[in-house]
């Protein structure tokens, strides 16, 4: 990394340079088309108000996906069953009975998808590895054919000059391990390290960045607290154990990496900055609980070696005393942190809401996505600065950011026009640049997602892709957001 890249502050400066030439050119154009002169001064004012945010030349621009959401062929070539395969085949768990059996058929079409990435111009691809493709029973026997798929993918990316970022766990635990207690079993840390070690030894030469766990908060909250995600439990006492074992597994994988790997390793967390719904004392206390639960529960142990003090208040007697020796492994130094940002939470006290006794309120007049998430780019700036302030200058990659808006099942134009997603993307890139101007040490950004895909329990009903997928034919069509993203990457900047 250049000195420039180390100092995030100087990167996203305004570049107004050639504005006067552009105004003059625009005026000449208007005059030639015999438009009224008033038009010309309007344009001049518009251009003068425009600022351009620029990013460093070595900024990493990427797109992201996850194995169960895009690959399909979950049992091909000797792969074992994952908890998501089992969950989606359980009636009532996923909208419309959708499963990942075919998904985007990325398992067979990865080469075409790498071509698409090349067309868009991205420099990095974040994908995840399916644990049960590689170790069908979770531990023990290695399935070489599973590893071969990721080898082919990594090689294709390298040939296209796209840097691979591999996530080891994006929610698809081998079902055989769930049967042994899954994230409730303390042994999961050594199971995970065993799997991670196989992946590191097979792929580290081609993979530049490794992420241990994607969004441990979602694994705990969706999988063990509220049950909307696999394995679908709802148990106040299981949630803290899942949290702690996820972090222990993360630490064990980092230790394995230091012995076997040569590149970079980090963890990926989802952050949701909390704002007050009112100034009342109750809402203020609720905000602290919600913030501890979502934003500090994983980062505090990793960077400060202990859980936030609010955890005991949140979980009551379900929050156990964890062995203090566990934190030595959990706080192993990392090379980077991945931050996923989608929305903010405007928080109010809600005594009936388990476990935080808080809830998000809807903001009148705001734009909401199809997943009912408020579009609020300022919170993206805020959370990146908060991270810098609380946890220091470790390099950050924004490993996911994106939005679900309605697109038709079949592409009706090429590119598919998706103005709301374009609006979201532009707003968040501007907010990112602004965080970098103010000191956030961000080195790269990955759009969620390259493709429309299986949005977990929503099935295929929510489209996050910048590339449209027709699930009846598997035809891919770029959306306007992909074209805009491509321009941003080419120009290393965005007009405000
Ligand atoms: C997850 C993705 C998911 C996205 C949108 C993130 O929580 O990592 O797998 O599709 O958000 O919900």
Q: Which residue has the tokens 């997943």?
A: 371
Q: Is 455 in the pocket of ligand 1 (CB under 6 A)?
A: yes
Task: Tell which atom from ligand 1 comes closest to the C-alpha of 456.
Answer: 10
> Strand locations in 223-278, DSSP E?
264-271, 274-276
How do strand 52-54 and strand 493-495 relate by DSSP bridges? antiparallel
pLDDT category of residue 156 using cuts at 50, 70 and 90: very high
Task: Tell which atom from ligand 1 comes closest to the C-alpha of 270.
Answer: 7
CA 444/CA 399 separation, integer angstroms: 8
Q: Is 448 in the pocket of ligand 1 (CB under 6 A)?
A: yes
Q: What are the backbone dihedrals phi and psi of residue 132, each rounded to the nearest 5 degrees, phi first?
A: -80, -10
CA 168/CA 66 separation, integer angstroms: 10
pLDDT over 90 percentage in the chain: 89
Q: Is 400 in the pocket of ligand 1 (CB under 6 A)?
A: yes
Q: Is 340 in the pocket of ligand 1 (CB under 6 A)?
A: yes
Task: Tell which atom from ligand 1 comes closest to the C-alpha of 404.
Answer: 5
Compute the distance from residue 244 Cα to the ligand 1 centre, in Å.
21
Q: Is 215 in the pocket of ligand 1 (CB under 6 A)?
A: yes
CA 245/CA 298 separation, integer angstroms: 11
Mean pLDDT of all residues in 11-16: 35
- The confidence score (pLDDT) of residue 44 equals 58
Tokens of 306: 């202990």
Compute the distance from residue 70 Cα to the ligand 1 centre, in Å.
12
- The confidence score (pLDDT) of residue 20 equals 46
97: left (phi over 0), alpha (psi -120 to 50) or beta: left
Mean pLDDT of all residues in 462-481: 99
CA 229/CA 26 separation, integer angstroms: 53
CB atoms within 10 A of CB 90: 12
Does residue 26 have a pLDDT over 70? no
CA 443/CA 8 separation, integer angstroms: 8
Compute the distance from residue 65 Cα to the ligand 1 centre, in Å.
9
pLDDT category of residue 43 using cuts at 50, 70 and 90: low
Mean pLDDT of all residues in 69-76: 99
Q: Which of 98, 219, 448, 461 to mutate to test the pocket of ligand 1 (most atoms within 8 A of CB)?
A: 448
Alpha carbon nearest to ligand 1 atom 12, residue: 455
Identify the helix (H) or strand (E) that includes residue 483.
Answer: helix 480-491
pLDDT category of residue 496 using cuts at 50, 70 and 90: confident
Q: Are 399 and 64 in contact (CB under 8 A)?
A: yes
CA 295/CA 155 separation, integer angstroms: 36
Half-sphere exposure (Cβ direction) of 292: Cα atoms closer than 13 Å: 19
CA 465/CA 265 separation, integer angstroms: 26
Query: Average per-residue pLDDT in the chain?
Result: 93
List C-alpha distances in Å: 403 to 70, 269, 299, 343, 484: 17, 17, 24, 10, 15
- The confidence score (pLDDT) of residue 34 equals 47
Mean pLDDT of all residues in 96-100: 99
Class of residue 260 by CB neighbours under 10 A (exposed 0-12, middle 13-18, buried 19+): middle
Task: Give this prediction's pTM.
Answer: 0.92
Q: Are 104 and 70 in contact (CB under 8 A)?
A: yes
List C-alpha distances in Å: 90 to 85, 87, 99, 453: 9, 5, 10, 19
Nearest-CA neighbor of 438 among 383, 399, 491, 377?
Answer: 383
Does residue 151 have a pLDDT over 60? yes
Q: Is 66 in the pocket of ligand 1 (CB under 6 A)?
A: yes
**Residue 375 CB contacts under 8 Å (≥ 6 apart), including other chains:** 343, 366, 367, 368, 369, 403, 423, 424, 427
Compute the distance from residue 444 Cα to the ligand 1 centre, in Å.
18
- The confidence score (pLDDT) of residue 51 equals 80
- The confidence score (pLDDT) of residue 6 equals 31
pLDDT category of residue 42 using cuts at 50, 70 and 90: low
Active-site residue numbers? 215, 400
Nearest-CA neighbor of 426 among 379, 383, 484?
Answer: 484
pLDDT in tens, 223-270: 999 999 999 999 999 999 999 999 999 999 999 999 999 999 999 999
CA 456/CA 446 separation, integer angstroms: 19
CA 303/CA 393 separation, integer angstroms: 12
Compute the distance from residue 19 Cα to the ligand 1 centre, in Å.
39
pLDDT in tens, 318-362: 999 999 999 999 999 999 999 999 999 999 999 999 999 999 999
Q: Is 329 in the pocket of ligand 1 (CB under 6 A)?
A: no
CB atoms within 10 A of CB 17: 9
Q: Which residue has the tokens 């085949």?
A: 89
SS3 content of the chain, % helix, strand, coil (to 5): 45, 15, 40
pLDDT in tens, 109-132: 999 999 999 999 999 999 999 999
How much is the CA Rg of the chain, to the nearest whole Å?
A: 23
Q: Is 350 in the pocket of ligand 1 (CB under 6 A)?
A: no
- The confidence score (pLDDT) of residue 36 equals 47
Mean pLDDT of all residues in 92-97: 98
Largest CA distance in the chain: 78
pLDDT in tens, 403-446: 999 999 999 999 999 999 999 999 999 999 999 999 999 999 99
- The confidence score (pLDDT) of residue 355 equals 98
Compute the distance from residue 449 Cα to the ligand 1 centre, in Å.
9
Q: Which residues pair with 167 in a beta bridge?
A: 128, 211
Q: Is 311 in the pocket of ligand 1 (CB under 6 A)?
A: no
Mean pLDDT of all residues in 154-177: 99
Compute the distance from residue 472 Cα to the ligand 1 centre, in Å.
23
């Amino acid at each position: 990394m250049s000195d420039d890249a180390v100092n995030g502050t100087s990167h996203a400066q305004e570049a107004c340079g050639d504005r006067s030439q552009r105004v003059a050119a625009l005026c000449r154009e208007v005059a030639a088309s015999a438009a009224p002169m008033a038009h010309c001064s309007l344009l001049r004012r518009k251009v003068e108000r425009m600022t351009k945010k620029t990013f460093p030349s070595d900024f990493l621009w990427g797109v992201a996906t996850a194995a169960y959401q895009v690959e399909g062929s979950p049992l091909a070539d000797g792969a074992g069953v994952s908890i998501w395969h089992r969950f989606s085949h359980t009636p009532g768990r996923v909208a419309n009975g959708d499963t990942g059996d075919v998904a985007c058929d990325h398992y067979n079409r990865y080469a075409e998808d790498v071509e698409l990435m090349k067309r868009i111009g991205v420099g990095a691809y974040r994908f995840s590895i399916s644990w049960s493709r590689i170790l069908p029973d979770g531990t023990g026997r290695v399935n070489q054919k599973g590893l071969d798929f990721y080898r082919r993918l990594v090689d294709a990316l390298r040939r296209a000059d796209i840097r691979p970022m591999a996530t080891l766990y994006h929610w698809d635990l081998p079902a055989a391990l769930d049967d042994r207690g899954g994230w409730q079993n303390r042994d999961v840390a050594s199971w995970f390290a065993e799997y991670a070690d196989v992946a590191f030894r097979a792929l580290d030469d081609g993979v530049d960045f490794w992420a241990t766990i994607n969004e441990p908060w979602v694994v705990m909250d969706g999988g063990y607290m509220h049950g909307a995600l696999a394995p679908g439990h709802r148990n106040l006492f299981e949630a803290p154990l899942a949290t702690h074992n996820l972090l222990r597994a993360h630490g064990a994988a980092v230790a394995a990496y230091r012995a076997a790997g040569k590149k970079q390793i980090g963890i990926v967390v989802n952050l949701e900055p909390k704002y007050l719904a009112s100034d009342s004392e109750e809402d203020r206390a609720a905000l602290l609980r919600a913030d501890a639960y979502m934003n500090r529960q994983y980062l505090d142990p990793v960077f400060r070696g202990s859980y936030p003090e609010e955890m005991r208040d949140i979980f009551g007697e379900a929050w156990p005393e964890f062995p203090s020796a566990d934190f030595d492994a959990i706080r192993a130094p990392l090379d980077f942190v991945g931050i996923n940002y989608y929305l903010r939470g405007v928080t109010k006290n809600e005594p009936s809401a388990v476990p935080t006794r808080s809830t998000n309120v809807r903001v009148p007049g705001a734009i909401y996505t199809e997943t009912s998430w408020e579009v609020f780019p300022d919170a993206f700036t805020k959370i990146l600065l908060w991270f810098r302030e609380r946890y220091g200058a470790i390099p950050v990659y924004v490993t996911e950011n994106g939005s679900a808006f309605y697109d038709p099942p079949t592409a009706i134009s090429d590119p598919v026009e998706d103005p709301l997603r374009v609006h979201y993307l532009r707003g968040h890139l501007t907010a990112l640049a602004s965080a970098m101007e103010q000191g956030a040490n961000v080195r790269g950004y990955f759009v969620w997602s390259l493709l429309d895909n299986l949005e977990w329990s929503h099935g295929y009903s929510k489209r996050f892709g910048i590339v449209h997928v027709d699930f009846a034919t598997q035809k891919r069509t770029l959306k306007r957001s992909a074209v805009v993203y491509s321009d941003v990457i080419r120009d290393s900047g965005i007009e405000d």
